[in-house]
A = this chain, B = another copy of it.
Amino acid sequence: MKLLRSLLVIILFPVFLFAQDRPNIILFLVDDMGWQDTSLPFWTKETEFNRRYHTPNMERLAREGMKFTNAYATPVCTPTRVSIMTGMNAAHHHVTNWTHIQKNTPTDMEDSFFHRAEWNYDGLSPQKDIPNTVYATPLPQLLKESGYFTIHVGKAHWGSMGTPGSNPYNLGFVVNISGNATGHPQSFKGGDNYGNLPGKTTFHAVQDLNEYYGTETFLTEALTLEAIKSLDVPIRIRQPFFLNLAHYAVHTPLQDDPRFYKKYIDAGLDETEAKYASMVEGMDKSLGDIMDFLISKNIDKNTIVIFMTDNGGLSLTPLRGGEAHTHNLPLRAGKGSVYEGGIRVPMIVKWPGVVKPGTKTDQYIIVEDFFPSLLEMAAVRNYRTVQPIDGKSFVPLLRNPEQGDADRILIWHFPNKWQPDGPGINYKSAIRQGDWKLVFHMRNGQKELFNLRDDIGETMDLALQHPDKVRSLSSLLSSQLREWKAPMPVVKSTGRAVGFSDEQ
């Protein structure tokens, strides 16, 4: 036996070295955080918002990695999360809006003009034949099967209760902490038991955190501590890991993170905005704590850290302070909108040895690209999925940030009513190619054209000046949506679905 053990040590050595050759991957996914909610400028200029927020660890990550100045998500959370898990565009997976915690409950608001589109309002399903879901092979399933230790911590929100997609274990996660069907926490406060207050508990109370009940531990911190604990085993046995650390921050309810709140009140912010800023900095501290932990375990050199958020910053009042639709300036509008404020998000990738520190790329990418990118990072090849993959790996960009592709087409599709109408909000599609972006309004068939290089705020509609561009983009958009059988709202008066943009 002793001989066998000695032999084992010798044998295991190259095995573990091999295992270590595959990088660990941490996807640090923030909720509802906008492009400007950071002291790290993603625009060409430093803005007022960059001066308002303090995110030293995002700055640090950017110094050690690559900043994506044109990274896109979808206008609301579930579509983004399902795109990451499936590699499909939202117009293709048909989970175009956020999913309700209860199944068979479309979240669309009532509208006087439209019936709702036939979207997949129960979300993602790893099992076939679940009504109102997209059936797909989820990213962590492939990573797990290829030998990764897969961990989910925090907000899941991939499918409604009573469906398999509500359970992260069904999606290929080995460990799940606090992830289920809800899209936001009942409370971020340990003193509130994160909402677990008998008689007042809703479906949004955060699960699995008994340890912190009655303490001052803010939810962001509790999830960080749990995430760090969960890494013990893969680090110990040198198994590569995938950590999907999906913070509930900075989604509503906006609450003061006591570690940072006073500082923002002292800086003159109103209470709501001070709460928001404190949640942003609490989230940033989590990022720093994770980075420090990697160093302490001496695995920082072999760990990819990806910072991403799931949609633009919320910009409705009075949920936010100040004036509505201004919280992502210079970008127009915010969460829910197909204008840049709703979809352009902060993204940073650190990959030691591959990404040159302190670099940036201006090439546009979109969130379904994460699926093939993460699999490429993990050296998973020739994988099989039940769904076709729409995303394109951004790994080549990591190796060469100048490698632009101005012909690439990105598409957003939101045939839903999320909230009362606002700029770019409800019943829109959009397409970007190069610097050009076309926005299609389903209510009235209007097509707006913007040049993002000259007009990042989408203030000047150039449709009349460039009818050919409108026509070509509209045609590209429509044929792609048609191919994807993208759901469209139904006109109540006629009972017929709205036509695609090239039919109007």
Contacts and interface: CB of A to CB of B under 8 A. Distances in A.
Contact of A213 (B161, B199, B213, B226): B161
A49 interface: no
Contacts of A170: 211, 229
A214 B162 contact: yes
A372 to B, nearest CB: 20
B103 A211 contact: no
Contact of A11 (B14, B181, B198): B14
Interface in A222-243: 226, 229-230, 233, 237
Given A180-B210, A198-B202, A213-B161, A169 B229 contact: yes
How many protomers of this protein does the assembly include? Answer: 2
A163 B207 contact: no
Contacts of A15: 8, 11-12, 15
A134 interface: no
A474 to B, nearest CB: 41
Nearest to A209: B167
B12 A211 contact: no
Interface string A427-469: 0000000000000000000000000000000000000000000
A133 to B, nearest CB: 13
Contacts of A95: none
A191 to B, nearest CB: 10
A205 B180 CA distance: 15
Given A15-B15, A208-B180, A211-B164, A169 B203 contact: no
A174 interface: yes
A39 interface: no
Interface in A189-218: 193, 196, 198-203, 205, 207-215
A491 interface: no
Contact of A226 (B169, B180, B193, B203): B169
Contact of A215 (B11, B12, B162, B226): B162
A76 to B, nearest CB: 20
A18 interface: yes
Interface string A158-174: 00011110110110001
Of listed A14, A169, A237, residue having the most chain B CB within 10 A: A169
Closest 6 pairs (CB-CB, A-B): A201-B201, A207-B207, A167-B211, A166-B210, A180-B210, A161-B213
11 contacts: A144-B233, A161-B193, A161-B214, A167-B209, A167-B211, A169-B229, A174-B175, A175-B175, A181-B210, A198-B201, A201-B201
